[in-house]
Amino acid sequence: MATFILIHGSWHWGGCFQKVANLLGAAGHAVIAPDLASHGFDPTPTAAVSDIAVYAAPAREALEAIEGKAILVGHSVGGATCSWLGEEMPERIAALVYLTGFMAPNGRTARDFVMTPTYLKDPAIVETQGMLRLGKEGLGLDLSKPDLIARSLYSDCTRHDIERAMANLVRVTPHAPFAAVSAITPHRFGKLRRHYIECLQDHGLPLPVQREMQAAVPGAHVHQLDTGHSPFLSAPEALADVLLDIAD
């Protein structure tokens, strides 16, 4: 049986994966879904998150605590943590899975892929960009604009799931995961089995941007879900099926 470490994206918390974690657990697998620094129940102040090592420390601690290897699943900017750990601790990792995740090549950052015409001119991004607030401590989410947030992050989710998610979001994700310069190398990160799960109806990280990153870091096995940005809420069974296939 595999151990999955599920790594959340911006503004989220480990519990956003509860539906998928339950399905993986029912199939006999171990699941850990940590709150990254300054998110969920983690008490770290946003201003104290100085770099990716601080931000991703809860995921690293989970990886260090288990026996054997883990499958890391990084959603959205959680992909930056996957890449960092893939280079830092490849001997503890069975596979890296990018769930509509940021996957930057060596020398580039996640932020580089949201500063391109592909991202900035995408109709879904143009429509919802008013929900974001760039500040001194990080990338903020204007929680007073729930309709824009829902359109971007939860476009195919039920009203119930949207309300539960909105109640648990933090207002700011530190700059660290967006600004971390990827330092992946062929003999460490490059030797790991990698998978990329495309979300075909994603309004938060549009499909053309997902594919730009795959082209920049080739070699991942590609899967597809016909969902929006948060399939752990809208299509947990379909996502769990993909992850179970990866674990086989």
Query: Residue 160's CB: how many other CB atoms inside 10 A?
Result: 9
What pLDDT does residue 154 have?
98
Q: What is the mean pLDDT of residues 66-78?
A: 97
The tens digit of pLDDT for each residue in 97-115 reads: 999 999 999 999 999 999 9
The tens digit of pLDDT for each residue in 116-149 reads: 999 999 999 999 989 999 999 999 999 999 999 9
Beta bridge partners, 96, equal: 72, 194
Torsion of CA 108, 109, 114, 116, to 10 degrees: -10
The tens digit of pLDDT for each residue in 165-209 reads: 999 999 999 999 999 999 999 999 999 999 999 999 999 999 999
DSSP 67: S
Q: Which of 11, 226, 191 is nearest to 100 (CA)?
A: 226
Find out whether 96 and 190 touch, Cβ atoms under 8 Å.
Answer: no
Domains of the chain by range and CATH?
Answer: 3-247 (3.40.50.1820)
Measured between alpha carbons, how far is 175 from 154 in angstroms, rounded to an integer? 23
- pTM value is 0.97
Q: Which residues contact 60 (CB under 8 A, 6 or more apart)?
A: 53, 85, 88, 89
